[in-house]
Amino acid sequence: MLAGPTATIATMADAVATTMDAFDAAADLDLDRSDEDLLFFAARRALLVPHKTQLVAARRAIEDHDLDIGRRLQVRVVFGDQVLDRGVVDGNARTKISLKGKPGLEASHVFGKNVATLTREKLAIEPQKVLEAVGRMDDLPEYAERAAIAADLTKRANRQQSALDERSDGDAARAKLVSNGVRLVLEAANALATTKGALDERFPRQRDYVAAFFLDVTSAAPPKAAAPDAAPAEPPAPTG
């Protein structure tokens, strides 16, 4: 089966390259071909060259993004989350100590009864939740470190939000690369289908010969059902 529009970029690039190489091989090795056939092979191969070039470039662009800016932005978010969590835990502890024995609201008014509820928020919303907690600090009784803790948490939350925004921009850039790849795969699939049609027309009723020009991407067939009198298959071992 030909590589179709749902193939991955890697598979389609392989499929196009295979057909190009097959045209080269047929021109060099098939002694039964006429000069007109050789010209046909060269012309059809030339039509596939830009597809291979563009597919390879698109695949590399996605890989380069993932291994460079994509990975860097993701690591920054993960690292920033740890920094933010550390500040929240520290701010909660310092606030508890500072308010011990004082009348009025306690640290739980800001950080919750269990600070882990705040530090385990979803990455995308934790900075905003921390900033909301900072806003509640004004409700607490006065204590020496309140302004410093609020400033520290605000700085950590804003930096993490910036890291999240940068990652979102990176994701949008990657989506464009992927979209371009999808378009190129579709165009290449159409080109392969057209190529097969041209080969079928030039070499009618030579199905095996024509098939040799293409990468077969047919999925492996499922195993045949056991015969009625066959011993049942041994059940798989539990995976735990």
Compute the distance between CA of residue 163 and CA of residue 165 in angstroms, rounded to an integer.
5
pLDDT of 90 above 60: yes
For 48-63, the pLDDT digits (tens) are 999 999 999 999 999 9
Nearest-CA neighbor of 195 among 207, 181, 213?
Answer: 213
Residue 215's pLDDT band (boundaries 50, 70, 90)? very high
Compute the distance between CA of residue 34 and CA of residue 133 in angstroms, rounded to an integer.
81
Query: Domain 9-211's class?
Result: mainly alpha
For 65-84, the pLDDT digits (tens) are 999 999 999 999 999 999 99
Q: How many CA atoms lie within 13 A of 207 on its CB side?
A: 1
**Burial label, 205 (beta-carbon count in 10 A; 0-12, 13-18, 19+):** exposed
pLDDT of 228 above 90: no
What is the model's pLDDT at position 55?
Answer: 98
Compute the distance between CA of residue 96 and CA of residue 86 in angstroms, rounded to an integer.
16
Q: Give the mean model confidence (pLDDT) for residues 219-236.
A: 46
For 147-192, the pLDDT digits (tens) are 999 999 999 999 999 999 999 999 999 999 999 999 999 999 999 9
pTM: 0.79
What is the model's pLDDT at position 218?
Answer: 87
3 state DSSP class of 129: helix
Nearest-CA neighbor of 109 among 87, 141, 149?
Answer: 141
What is the model's pLDDT at position 219?
Answer: 61
Where are the chain's structural domains? 9-211
Q: Among all chains, which residue has been given the structure tokens 């890291």?
A: 163
Helix axes 146-202, 35-65, angle to 10 degrees: 170
2: tokens are 């030909």
b (16+ CB within 10 A) / e for 160-196: bbebbeebeebeeebeebeebbeebbebbbebbeebb
Nearest-CA neighbor of 95 among 160, 156, 141?
Answer: 141
Residue 224's pLDDT band (boundaries 50, 70, 90)? low
- Strand extents, DSSP E, 51-174: none
3 state DSSP class of 209: helix
Average pLDDT, the chain: 92
